[in-house]
A and B are shown apart, each in its own frame.
Chain A
Amino acid sequence: MVKIQPFLRGPRFIAAAAALAVVAACGGGGGSGGGTDTSPFLDPNQYSTAAGAGLAAPNEKTAVTHHTLTLGGAAIAYTATAGHLSALDASQAPEASIFYVAYTADGAAPATRPVTFFFNGGPGAATIWLHLGSFGPKRLVTGVPATTQALPFPYVDNAESLIDTSDLVFVDPVGTGLSEAILPHTNQSFWGVDVDAALLRDFVQRWLAVNGRTASPLFLYGESYGTTRVPVLTRLLETAGRRVNGVVELSSILDYNSNCSVNGGTPTVNCAGFLPSYAAVGSWYHLATGATGDLDADLATVRSYADSTYAPDAAAWLATATLPPDSHIAALVAFTGLPAAIWDQHFDMNYDSFRHNLIANTTLGVYDGRVSAAVGSPLDTNDEPSNAFVAPGFAAAIKTVLPDELGYTNPTPYVMSSAAIDTWDFSHGGRALPDVVPDLSAALLLDPALKILFLGGEHDLITPFHQTELDVARLASGAPIALHFHPGGHMTYLDDGSRPLMKAELAAFYAAAKGAQ
């Protein structure tokens, strides 16, 4: 962590401390409130996600609004709080001004009411996907995998919201959304696996303290790079003495060294963990001649083949460029529908070779292989149809949700995706690329009551579910871990069939984890 030099901590530090005092007086909008007063906030600060940017005068004022959601016939009154809170280092010096939106049920008992912090990934991606699309009190309707839902996406009450189970805090890491480092730090100061997690540890602890929630059961929820971030954050919180009750990992990348997509298809990483996802996508397009119509049973077959036969075949191909017997190629064609000639050329099959060659002149989505676009069509812009379909709807919605629903107005554009990844320090645990299985192992060693839930989509081609199974299998058998995968893409909750299944699994997980000692 970057320390502030004492000689730099003069007037600026005093100004920041004064700002903190103002906020403490306003209250951060905790769960014990329940008043009916609403206070919109026009935040005059200009925020930047540039690498060299840092904020001179953070403020911690928040916009507070009151709402009601009816879930299963019961009305849940909740307070939404949107604004910034500064993360402080060990000497209480401000590090970064973090933008968050918190949804807290009114009148709940802080000692038993869980609070969950949500993080998207990138790195450099704002937590807009989880906030507007997943388990918040309201959600955007996308109709994915269909691509027919017109803009603007409707923003509706969410029948699968987790607000009946936990308070929900959606957090934008530094250099995303409206979050920015506080001078003399710059955004770049927090662009690395370890510095990012340490900063978010400080943010989580400050949020809990300011809101009177230090006794509440604590849950962390990561998606995508967020599933790399959250295990490091969990270990750091447990090390600091703050118990984490549960960790939810959606669409996981636990080990960058084992995932053949982030290595760009460079033929050094075995892609066997991807084969079942290719089979799921081939089956979706009715191209997998070996499919029986029972997806779960078929994926079990392919998973087993991937481990027993394709993994050693791919290893041999990587080592000596030797192809297996024709019967093995024929099995892969039957599982996936991908032509034999493509397997012959790219035997260690990365997602790009798969999604550009399964159907002629057609590009399949990286995030959801069920979404497709004709080459050169509008959805094929940027070579990623599933993101091209949903991103404009999310980008438009945040512009109205923040001011109109949550009462928070700011002149700066909310940054969904910044350049943080270009200068991100990926090194971690003595490796050039992060492997966070040891972080989960360390967190479980410090806190044997910690529970972990892995979720994901069977049609996600960037963090394939079987690769997650292989990475998780490194942990000791008997570890308190559950895995559930459903039809859908990377943002599995966008699927209207899978979201209710995930909600039920989350509810069961919280019930088991929140009371565990």
Chain B
Amino acid sequence: MRQALALALLLAAAAAHAGPRLDPGRPPSAALQAAQADNRTRPASVGATLDADTERLLRASFDAADPAHRGTLSRAEAQAGGFGWIASHFDAIDTRHAGRVSFDDVRRYLKLRDANAATK
């Protein structure tokens, strides 16, 4: 596997010198092949699937700020872990005044805010 990757990198490097480097340029062929497999099973997200993709990104940031997998973050942990947005909205998210918020609390806050905006 590692040899195959090295070979692919070598070939990609050789190919790159054949013509000009374009911007956006063509990704290495291994990435293109993997993408073709992706695209057969996972069409571009829209509507509910885009919402799921969006949530996945935020969830990943939440998990990155929670290396101990406690499932909740304090204001200080959110700030230190790169999710300063949670820290700056902490009181509004922490409706139970628990001092810690879960990802579901964040989702609830966003849904509530959107509902409020819609009725304005």
A419 contacts B31, C-beta separation under 8 Å: no
Q: Which of B16, B23, B35 contacts A256 (CB 8 A)?
A: B35
Q: Does A441 contact B (CB under 8 A)?
A: yes
Which residues of A does B touch, CB under 8 Å?
A: 90, 120-125, 224-225, 228, 235, 238-242, 253, 255-259, 261-264, 266, 268-269, 366, 382-384, 387, 417, 419, 421-424, 426-427, 429-433, 435, 437-439, 441-442, 445-446, 448, 462-463, 471, 474-475, 490
Contacts of A90 in B (CB 8 A): 80, 82
Q: Which of A241, A264, A430, A437 contacts B26 (CB 8 A)?
A: A264
A433 contacts B19, C-beta separation under 8 Å: no
Q: Which residue of A lies closest to B37 (CB)?
A: A432
B9 contacts A446, C-beta separation under 8 Å: no
Contacts of B88 in A (CB 8 A): 241
B58 contacts A239, C-beta separation under 8 Å: yes
Take A90-B82, A384-B20 as given contacts and tell me if A429 and B27 are in contact as well, using a CB distance cutoff of 8 Å: no
The residues in B between 1 and 19 inclusive whose CB is less than 8 angstroms from any CB of A are 9, 12-13, 16, 19
A366 contacts B22, C-beta separation under 8 Å: yes
The complex places the Cα of A445 from the Cα of B57 at a distance, in Å, of 11
Q: Write the B24-52 contact mask toward A (1 if CB under 8 angstroms, else 0).
A: 11111001101111110010111000110
Question: What's the minimum C-beta distance from A244 to chain B, rounded to whole angstroms?
Answer: 12
Take A264-B26, A441-B50 as given contacts and tell me if A433 and B31 are in contact as well, using a CB distance cutoff of 8 Å: yes
Main secondary structure of the interface of A (DSSP, over half): loop
Take A239-B58, A422-B9 as given contacts and tell me if A257 and B27 are in contact as well, using a CB distance cutoff of 8 Å: no
Which residues of B does A touch, CB under 8 Å?
A: 9, 12-13, 16, 19-28, 31-32, 34-39, 42, 44-46, 50-51, 53-54, 56-58, 61, 79-80, 82-85, 87-88, 110, 113, 117
Q: Which residue of B lies closest to A223 (CB)?
A: B23
A257 contacts B39, C-beta separation under 8 Å: yes
Question: What's the minimum C-beta distance from B55 to chain A, rounded to whole angstroms?
Answer: 8
A448 contacts B117, C-beta separation under 8 Å: yes
Question: What's the minimum C-beta distance from B29 to chain A, rounded to whole angstroms?
Answer: 9
Contacts of B9 in A (CB 8 A): 422-423
Q: Which residue of A lies closest to B82 (CB)?
A: A240
Main secondary structure of the interface of B (DSSP, over half): helix
Contacts of B54 in A (CB 8 A): 438, 441-442, 445
The complex places the Cα of A427 from the Cα of B33 at a distance, in Å, of 12
A432 contacts B50, C-beta separation under 8 Å: no
Interface centre among B23, B25, B36, B88, by most A CB within 10 Å?
B23
Q: Which residue of A lies closest to B88 (CB)?
A: A241
A424 contacts B28, C-beta separation under 8 Å: yes
Q: Which residue of B lies closest to A254 (CB)?
A: B44
The complex places the Cα of A228 from the Cα of B24 at a distance, in Å, of 9
Given contacts A435-B44, A474-B46, A475-B50, 6 further A-B contacts (CB under 8 A): A90-B80, A225-B24, A263-B35, A437-B44, A438-B57, A474-B44
B79 contacts A262, C-beta separation under 8 Å: no
The complex places the Cα of A320 from the Cα of B20 at a distance, in Å, of 34
B44 contacts A255, C-beta separation under 8 Å: yes
Q: Which residue of A lies closest to B10 (CB)?
A: A422
B44 contacts A241, C-beta separation under 8 Å: no
Question: What's the minimum C-beta distance from B57 to chain A, rounded to whole angstroms?
Answer: 5
Contacts of A262 in B (CB 8 A): 24-27
Q: Which residue of B lies closest to A384 (CB)?
A: B20
Contacts of B39 in A (CB 8 A): 257, 268-269
The complex places the Cα of A452 from the Cα of B87 at a distance, in Å, of 25
B84 contacts A240, C-beta separation under 8 Å: yes
Question: What's the minimum C-beta distance from B117 to chain A, rounded to whole angstroms?
Answer: 7
